[in-house]
Amino acid sequence: MQNKRIHINRELQVTADGSHTLFIPEMDEHYHSVNGAIQESRHIFIEAGLHQSNKEDITVLEIGFGTGLNAFLTLLEAESLPIRIHYYSIELYPLSLDVVQTLNYGELICSEKKDLFFALHEAPWDQSVRITNSFELHKIQGDSNRCDLPNPIDLVYFDAFAPDKQPEMWNQEIFNRLYANMSEGGILTTYCAKGVVRRMMKEAGYTVERIPGPPGKREMLRALKL
């Protein structure tokens, strides 16, 4: 599904750790935690997700490519750990390169590799692109509720807008489909800790843990396919 022409008003904001996020006034929703975007992303997706996998070849699926922050942090991990990443990410409303140019992630996280942050955004959609020796990217432009999912998936970064802002993203069917497409030992992490989401994950078959969230958030969820 192509929605390239939809215009969404997004404001650039600085979060508590100095890193940027985007804010959508019409939704009253941020792309990341205002308590620190980089800090949040590292905590939820890298430490509670990627670092818990014991595989060397890891297929990641992200719901919501957005600013590419999670993808960039994952790429940098793949540079420093003995792992190879196949990174799929679904996004219905890609950012324009003009907006991407304003984000400070490349500079703040690893200025000598900031070109790789832009390479993630410049990569064409709907095809696999090798970004580094250890990181292959496949961005899918479409609706996560409708598009085909990769199979098998080892790790899911579920990074949709909050359930009260975009409830259609959090439904039983998507968790069932993710579970069906995940490898044994697969891990799904999300910042969300809501009971209704936890119950949907359990219903899908996951074993779900509530674990400490990043600063400003008491808990988050991690779901395992055992």
Ligand X SMILES: C[S@@+](CC[C@H](N)C(=O)[O-])C[C@H]1O[C@@H](n2cnc3c(N)ncnc32)[C@H](O)[C@@H]1O
CA distance 30 to 148: 27
Among the listed residues 67, 74, 189, 190, the single contact to ligand X using CB under 6 A = 67
CB 153 within 8 A of CB 59: yes
CB 45 within 8 A of CB 74: yes
CA distance 122 to 117: 9
Binding mask 81-110 for ligand X (x = CB under 6 A): ---------xxxx-----------------
CB 170 within 8 A of CB 89: no
Residue closer to ligand X, measured from CB, 154 or 159: 159
Question: SS3 sequence, 180-203?
Answer: HHEEEEEEEEECCCCHHHHHHHHH
Binding mask 153-192 for ligand X (x = CB under 6 A): ------xxx-------x-----------------------
> Counting contacts by CB under 6 A, is residue 64 touching ligand X?
yes
Q: Interaction with ligand X in 26-45: which residues (CB under 6 A)?
A: 31
> Counting contacts by CB under 6 A, is residue 60 touching ligand X?
no
The DSSP letter of residue 90 is E
Q: Interaction with ligand X in 136-155: which residues (CB under 6 A)?
A: 143-145
Applying CB under 6 A, the residues found at the interface with ligand X are 31, 64, 66-67, 69-70, 90-93, 143-145, 159-161, 169
